[in-house]
Chain A
Amino acid sequence: MSQLINSILILLVLTGFMLLSSSRLAACIRAIAIQGVLLGILAIAVQGRQLSMAGVLLPLSSAMVKGFVLPWMLLRAMREADTVREVEPLISYNLSIIAGTAALGLSLWLGHRLQLSSQLASSLLVPAAFFTSLVGMIVIASRRKALTQVLGYLALENGVYAFGAAVALRLPILVELGILLDVFVGVFVMGIAIFHISREFNHIDADKLQALTDRL
């Protein structure tokens, strides 16, 4: 079991780098989709032998939503917006990867520093979760397109979810569903906003949204 978990975690880290280094939007959306599916498997795998009905169904529905429904919505938003299908980062891809490597180092250090009282299924769990969140933040800060920022938000959320899975957090079903619903509606609303942005501006470059500022 721990081998399966470790391979999932390594794949999770790889999707993080894929998100940072891909120049094509569709590839980034795919990276997020793969993350969603991986997290679903991870959440089931960490439970070991104490599987319950809810313990399988919830991760499965989460994997469905994050792995298929949301990516489909984002791909549609991309087509509707009819935008240049490149990521157009504000920093170079090389720098993105260097930032990602630094984030990986920081996550490993943090995972080592924070002592959990209970035994984890793998020592890589917490670092991988932190890394995924940090990648999300790097993407939000360094990418130009509104669509890529949504991908960053999803990666951040995936990292938080992974942390929850890592510490085998048993949230009540109602709350788990509520969180999933919030993420779903959130991306849905952001998708609508992207559609309006593309219609209003003929681009979806969030860095050009700067009519509203204050100067000291």
Chain B
Amino acid sequence: MIVLLIIIPASAGLAAFFIESDRLRRILLLATASAQTALSLTTWIVSPAPALGGWLAEDALGRLIETLTSVLFLAASFYAVAYLREERRQTHSDFEEGFLFSNAREASFTACLLFFLAAMTLVAVSQQLALLWVAVEATTLASAPLIYFHRHHRSLEATWKYLLICSVGIALALLGIFFLAVAATNPDGTTIPLTVQDLRSNAHHLNVPWFRAAFVLLLVGFGTKMGLAPFHTWLPDAHSEAPSVASALLSGALLNCAFLGILRAQEISVAGGLADFSDKLLLVFGLISMGVAAAFISGQTDYKRMLAYSSVEHMGILAVGVGLGGAAVFGAVLHVINHSLTKAMLFLVAGNFLAAYRTKNSAEVSGALSVLPVSGVLWLVGLLAITGSPPFGPFLSEFTILKAALDHGQIFVAVLYLVLLAIIMAAMAAPALAMAQGTPAADVKAAPQRGLALSVVPAMLGIAVLVMGVYVPPVLTRALREAAHLLG
């Protein structure tokens, strides 16, 4: 069953590449996404048997990330079909510099989307760390063409930076995994296999200096991919230049997969009683990320870049939550879900704004509530949610982390965390509110007839964000507890 989760999207991706008919290919995309989600939900009822000698298995953490990924992918694929239908024409004029450009072939775009899903699923279910590395690098390669869908110089620049920075980062993570293998070599020459389970149960026998060096490399390597500052430089470019549906998947699904790489290392660290060291590193990089995000969100004129920096902020929040330990870990794992749902929704709404207003400059967008009523309302909902206002999901998880920080007596962390959240809230609210309110400029009044999915999909995500704020289903709470338990 686990193998199916990877083979289905991978083979569908291969097929999509060769299908000539747009209609058929879009049906294939939707069918694959639905099958994947159905299969992921089944794994909550019937625990799938491990495959490949235990290398592929679902634990609480992996299942959570895997299911979240496939649900987001399902949402994104419905949006993508409606979006691709609009993008059919041959040439487009760039709204920033006015030149003409064409899009990549729709077949390659769809194929890469599906390969991307397969690679992310492999990350979530890999128990063998080197295999996990292979999968993370595969996500980079499958998603790079998604960023270069609009063929012009800015998206090309973003793709290049993404490819190079992430590949270099990931190469360091591989060195980290090799260091871990050295740490797992006993003095008598026997070695502990590089699976999470084996490393956890033998964590007390690991060579401590080598493990520490390995953790630093893994944090830097996977942190680059996850968008932790100061290794986040690819992130705003890629998120702002990619089509919005790809940005939603990058932010909502991919960053979690990279985070999972760090969490696997943290699991071993906690099991070996070395959490003192790793917690401190996570806290420092988490707070730096929040600080960098606060600095760059203030005065940001491009609303897609603003959302991208907000992802840097939330990755920082996740690192802080895990670094604090105890109840904050539960908050962090819950925040993974909340952030993904909210950010995916915001990027999809941003895509609708982009189509209607043809600008990424927030100062040039106004009156969204009257031009695009559904998207306008969702934009406000998303803004409130992402800045941590009640009654939405992110408030709950961010508050859990704050409360844990206070309970642990980490007053400095708590104050800094709160101040940075407040700065970001203020910095995002002003431009985002101005976009929704006011009167629209004369030339955007005639909003063209658009696909229903373009507003329904973000609306569904918005409802999910609201539900997560008032009611977390018990089955989810249990899974979150179990996942948090692995992380101390």
Contact = CB atoms under 8 A, between A and B. Distances in A.
Interface of A: 114-118, 133, 137, 140, 146, 149-150, 153, 156-157, 160, 163-164, 167, 169-172, 174-175, 178-179, 181-182, 185-186, 189-190, 193, 196-197, 200-201, 206, 209-212, 214, 216
B210 A114 contact: yes
Contact of A212 (B128, B240, B295): B240
Nearest to A152: B168
Q: Which of B52, B153, B186 has the most CB of A within 10 A?
A: B153
B160 A193 contact: yes
Contacts, number: 119
Contact of B174 (A170, A179, A201): A179
B170 to A, nearest CB: 9
A170 B191 CA distance: 10
A65 to B, nearest CB: 15
A111 B176 CA distance: 16
A214 B300 contact: yes
B141 interface: yes
Nearest to A193: B160
Contacts of B237: 212
Interface of B is mostly: helix
Nearest to B305: A214
B486 interface: no
Interface of A is mostly: helix
B44 interface: no
Contacts of A196: 148, 151, 156
Given A169-B181, A178-B134, A179-B133, A212 B158 contact: yes
B178 A209 contact: no
Contact of A117 (B133, B156, B168, B185): B185
Contact of B213 (A114, A157, A185): A114
B110 interface: no
B158 to A, nearest CB: 6
B182 interface: yes
Nearest to B170: A182
A186 B159 contact: no
Q: Which of A114, A117, A149 has the most CB of B within 10 A?
A: A117
A216 B185 contact: no
Given A171-B130, A179-B174, A200 B141 contact: no
Contact of A214 (B134, B163, B236): B236
22 contacts: A114-B210, A115-B209, A118-B189, A140-B164, A149-B164, A153-B168, A156-B171, A160-B175, A171-B181, A175-B128, A182-B141, A186-B140, A189-B141, A189-B145, A189-B163, A190-B163, A196-B148, A197-B156, A209-B156, A210-B157, A212-B157, A214-B305
A209 B164 CA distance: 13
B278 interface: no
Contacts of A209: 156-157, 160-161
B167 A186 contact: yes
Contact of A163 (B157, B178, B209): B178
Nearest to A110: B213
Interface in B226-245: 236-237, 240-241
B137 interface: yes
A133 B175 contact: yes
Interface string B179-195: 00110011101010010
Contacts of B171: 153, 156-157, 160
Contacts of B281: none
B14 interface: no
A175 B134 contact: yes
A146 B241 contact: no
A150 B153 CA distance: 19
B163 A193 contact: yes
Contacts of A172: 128, 130
Given A164-B178, A167-B178, A182-B134, 14 more contacts: A114-B210, A117-B185, A163-B175, A167-B181, A171-B130, A172-B130, A175-B128, A186-B137, A186-B167, A189-B145, A206-B160, A206-B164, A209-B161, A212-B241
B153 to A, nearest CB: 5
B131 A153 contact: no
B296 interface: yes
B403 to A, nearest CB: 32
Contacts of A214: 236, 296, 300, 305
Contact of A153 (B161, B167, B187, B296): B167
Given A117-B186, A186-B167, A193 B156 contact: yes
Contacts of B141: 182, 185-186, 189
B207 interface: yes
Interface in B112-155: 128, 130-131, 133-134, 137-138, 140-141, 144-145, 148, 151-154
B336 to A, nearest CB: 25
B154 A216 contact: no
Contacts of B52: 174
Contacts of A186: 137, 140-141, 163, 167
B164 A190 contact: yes
A115 B332 CA distance: 36
Contacts of B175: 133, 160, 163
Interface string B235-278: 01100110000000000000000000000000000000000000
A156 B186 CA distance: 28
A174 B131 contact: yes
B282 to A, nearest CB: 24
A168 to B, nearest CB: 9
A182 B138 contact: yes
A36 B97 CA distance: 43
